[in-house]
């Protein structure tokens, strides 16, 4: 009886996943067949709005499904591997969307810069601020692993300055851009540094990115395992403490990995038509150019932001920190080499240097982040301050 019930549940789950996949892949098929004609004439506002909302909804739907599969992998692989899988998946989507717009009919040399800056402002101020504010309201104070946050900031700060501030002060290339030599070596240095960080995060210092160990005045060996909250046990320790806990199933890991890829591919394939619509909308509406970067950042990181907020509300601040700071680090560490590589291969100018007001906002954000994550616990005050900086950023988009 139990096996029959399990089989029915598995069959129903497979049916649901097939229906979810059909949403994304059906849209891909429709645009591959009819997209050329549909997007040839966007003069009708209702037609343009319909196609844009359709693509936006499908891409967001698939992005949420990617996050869902990454969460399943996180449960089986533990932290920080689960968060790494999620952030890398999101950054791949981000790079594809940026590349699609950059290589479109209306070249956008500053789109990569605008998107990276938008990600940093949205994640480090908007999502971090809201997470700390809501988490502080519900739990008063929340703890996280200070060593992990410091490691994240140690890579975010120099890479942000090199990628987004330094190009505005070099004299060899055009304003805000890099020469081919500078672009090659900056991309190389960025990849190497981020690779070292990933090796540390998944290797010898993996514990920095897990829930902090309980602090007590008595030796750890004398603390009964049953008295330690499960959330406080580092990745891998729970299995050691409970040898009867089943090991992660290789079949389940493979299934969720395959589903993650199947939900990610429609986003990649729909990036080009979405880029066409974004170009048209900004041109017709006369919207500020940075709005394109903000839109891409919101499309890509909304599911991850929701996951971070849920973690903070559930008093799992370490996962929220991993998601937010990990997203910022991977955005700089992977997006910069990607867009510089596109520029080198295509010969297209890539503008990275920020405007003076944006440099001030970035500097304040980095300094504020070091203060926020300088102690082992956070309160709602830090969240409120981050949100104020985020709202200033929103105002400056429309009123620079």
Angle formed by the axes of helices 2-38 and 250-285, nearest 10°: 30
The reply to whether 54 falls in a domain is: yes
pLDDT tens profile 228-240 = 444 443 444 344 3
Identify whether the C-beta of residue 204 lies closer than 8 Å to the C-beta of residue 347: no
Rounded-to-integer distance, Cα 288 and Cα 335, Å:
22
Confidence class of residue 241 from pLDDT cuts 50, 70 and 90? very low
Rounded-to-integer distance, Cα 320 and Cα 311, Å:
6
The reply to whether 218 falls in a domain is: no
- Please tell me the predicted confidence (pLDDT) of residue 227: 42
Mean pLDDT, residues 283-291: 81
The reply to whether 220 falls in a domain is: no
What pTM value is reported for the model? 0.80
pLDDT tens profile 299-346 = 888 888 888 999 999 998 888 998 899 889 988 888 889 889 988 888
pLDDT tens profile 184-193 = 999 999 999 9
What secondary structure letter does DSSP report for 228? S
Q: pLDDT at residue 382 above 90?
A: yes
Share of residues in the chain with pLDDT > 70 (%): 86
Mean pLDDT lowest for which of 73-82, 189-198, 360-369? Answer: 73-82
Identify whether the C-beta of residue 96 lies closer than 8 Å to the C-beta of residue 106: no
- Please tell me the predicted confidence (pLDDT) of residue 245: 45
pLDDT averaged over every residue in the chain: 82
Q: pLDDT at residue 195 above 50?
A: yes
The reply to whether 224 falls in a domain is: no
- What's the CATH number where 270 sits? 1.20.1420.30
Confidence class of residue 27 from pLDDT cuts 50, 70 and 90? very high
Of the spans 99-113, 155-169, 247-261, which averages the highest pLDDT? 155-169
| 288/393: higher pLDDT | 393
Identify whether the C-beta of residue 304 lies closer than 8 Å to the C-beta of residue 92: no
H or E segment and range at residue 142: strand 142-143
Confidence class of residue 260 from pLDDT cuts 50, 70 and 90? confident
The reply to whether 97 falls in a domain is: yes
The gap from C-alpha 396 to its chain's centroid, in whole angstroms, comes to 23
What are the two backbone dihedrals, phi and then psi, of residue 224, each rounded to the nearest 5 degrees? Answer: -60, 135
The reply to whether 223 falls in a domain is: no
The reply to whether 29 falls in a domain is: yes
- Residue 305: domain span: 2-212+229-240+247-398
Q: pLDDT at residue 134 above 70?
A: yes
- Please tell me the predicted confidence (pLDDT) of residue 230: 40
Quote the radius of gyration of the chain (alpha carbons, Å).
22
Q: How many domains does the chain have?
A: 1
Rounded-to-integer distance, Cα 244 and Cα 2, Å:
21
The reply to whether 219 falls in a domain is: no
Q: pLDDT at residue 127 above 90?
A: yes
Mean pLDDT, residues 379-400: 93
- Please tell me the predicted confidence (pLDDT) of residue 74: 74
């Amino acid at each position: 009886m139990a096996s029959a019930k399990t089989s029915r549940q598995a069959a129903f789950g497979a049916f649901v996943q097939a229906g979810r996949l059909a949403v994304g892949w059906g849209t891909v098929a429709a645009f591959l067949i009819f997209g050329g004609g549909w997007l040839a004439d966007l003069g009708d506002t209702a037609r343009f709005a319909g196609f844009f909302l359709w693509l936006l909804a499908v891409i967001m739907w698939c992005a949420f499904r990617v996050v869902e599969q990454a969460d399943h992998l996180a449960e089986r692989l533990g932290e920080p591997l689960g968060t790494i899988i999620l952030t890398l998946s999101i950054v791949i989507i981000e790079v594809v969307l940026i590349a699609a717009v950059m290589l479109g009919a209306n070249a956008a040399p500053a789109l990569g810069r605008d998107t990276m800056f938008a990600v940093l402002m949205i994640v480090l101020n908007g999502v971090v601020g809201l997470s700390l504010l809501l988490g502080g309201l519900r739990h008063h104070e929340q703890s996280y692993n200070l060593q992990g946050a410091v490691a994240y900031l140690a890579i975010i700060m120099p890479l942000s300055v090199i990628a987004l501030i330094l190009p505005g002060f070099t004299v060899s290339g055009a304003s805000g851009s890099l020469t081919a030599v500078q672009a090659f070596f900056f991309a190389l240095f960025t990849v190497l540094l981020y690779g070292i960080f990933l090796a540390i995060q998944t290797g010898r210092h993996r514990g920095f990115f897990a829930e902090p160990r309980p602090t007590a005045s008595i030796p750890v060996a004398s603390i009964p395992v049953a008295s330690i909250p499960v959330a406080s046990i580092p990745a891998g320790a729970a299995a050691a403490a409970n040898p009867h806990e089943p090991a992660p199933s290789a079949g389940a890991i493979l299934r969720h990995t395959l589903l993650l890829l199947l939900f990610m591919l429609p986003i990649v394939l729909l990036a080009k038509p979405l880029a066409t619509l974004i170009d048209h909308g900004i041109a017709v509406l006369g919207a500020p150019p940075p709005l394109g970067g903000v839109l891409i950042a919101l499309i890509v990181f909304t599911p991850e932001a929701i996951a971070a907020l849920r973690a903070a509300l559930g008093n799992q601040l370490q996962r929220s920190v991993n998601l937010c700071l990990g997203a910022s680090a991977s955005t700089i560490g992977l997006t910069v080499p990607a867009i510089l590589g596109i520029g080198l291969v295509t010969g297209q100018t890539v503008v990275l240097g920020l405007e003076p007001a944006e440099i001030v906002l970035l500097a304040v954000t980095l300094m504020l982040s070091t203060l926020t994550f300088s102690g082992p616990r956070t309160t709602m005050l830090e969240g409120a301050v981050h949100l104020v900086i985020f709202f200033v950023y929103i105002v400056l988009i429309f009123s620079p």
